[in-house]
Amino acid sequence: MRDRAAAAERTRRKPAIRDKYTLFAPFYDLLSGEYPVYHAGRVLGIDALAPTAGQQVLDIGCGTGLNFPLLQKRIGASGTIVGIDRSAGMLRQARRRARARGWENVILLQADMVLLDPGSIAARIQAGRGAAVSDAALATYSLSLMADREQAWTNMTGLLSADARVGVVDMQDPVGWARWLTPLARLACALGGSDITAAPWQAVEERCVDVLRASARGGHLQIRAGKMMHAG
């Protein structure tokens, strides 16, 4: 309990990262290493999540919306993307992307995944003409930034249907032949504020069934997706 309170306090005291993303937002797509590194993870993650036409998908820590084009191909105009991010600057870029592409099925909400109240977020989603519960959730390169991943996971699942699918894509040290790239991978994570040792995909391993696994870029990118295990 004390650990949870300490983590919440750390989250409140993390303006440096929040500011970093807001400052960096206009250049994020260009400088984040999307091609040649991180795009591969989102492609594999969305393949493994496999959302279908008409579904509502939560994009946790959606950033500038780099997942949106791939998600739209799957869910179509009858589906909905709910992007949640705590950075106003990143959401501004996501909103621009949606407007430029003419997507009317994107709901963007500014909230901290660790601190939010699922009930009030569900009400905000409904106010944006979405459904109170979503069919799937995807977190690409975002959970490893969150100080209290357990609470973020609980809040996320509070917004999902009982049989929802969850996909997590995140980073670790490269392995095997790619180990020589470790300093570069660590530098990228440190610059972005990610904890490269966090392994947030373990939650999918532990709490989902029918788990699909993939990795890319010498093991630096880890991908997991599965169906939520029913409680009880």
Ligand X SMILES: C[S@@+](CC[C@H](N)C(=O)[O-])C[C@H]1O[C@@H](n2cnc3c(N)ncnc32)[C@H](O)[C@@H]1O
Chain residues in the site for ligand X (CB under 6 A): 21, 42, 61-63, 66-67, 85-87, 90, 112-114, 140-142, 145-146, 192
CB of 230 to ligand X, least distance (A): 26
Report the residue number, 23 or 162, with the smaller CB distance to ligand X. Answer: 23
- Closest residue to bound ligand X by CB: 63
Report the residue number, 128 or 193, with the smaller CB distance to ligand X. Answer: 193
Largest CA distance in the chain: 50
Nearest-angstrom CA–CA distance, 37 and 31: 11
Q: DSSP string spanning 80-149?
A: EEEEEES-HHHHHHHHHHHHHHT--SEEEEE--TTT--HHHHHHHHHHTT--SSEEEEEEES-GGG-S-H
Contacts 24+ apart (CB under 8 A), 185-192: 185/220, 188/33, 188/37, 189/144, 192/32, 192/141, 192/145
CB of 104 to ligand X, least distance (A): 21
CB of 68 to ligand X, least distance (A): 10
CB of 150 to ligand X, least distance (A): 12
Q: Give the orientation angle of helix 2-12 with respect to helix 149-157, to 10 degrees.
A: 90
Nearest-angstrom CA–CA distance, 137 and 81: 10
Report the residue number, 85 or 135, with the smaller CB distance to ligand X. Answer: 85
Report the residue number, 11 or 105, with the smaller CB distance to ligand X. Answer: 11
Strand ranges (DSSP E) for 27-77? Answer: 56-60
Report the residue number, 114 or 208, with the smaller CB distance to ligand X. Answer: 114
CB of 40 to ligand X, least distance (A): 12
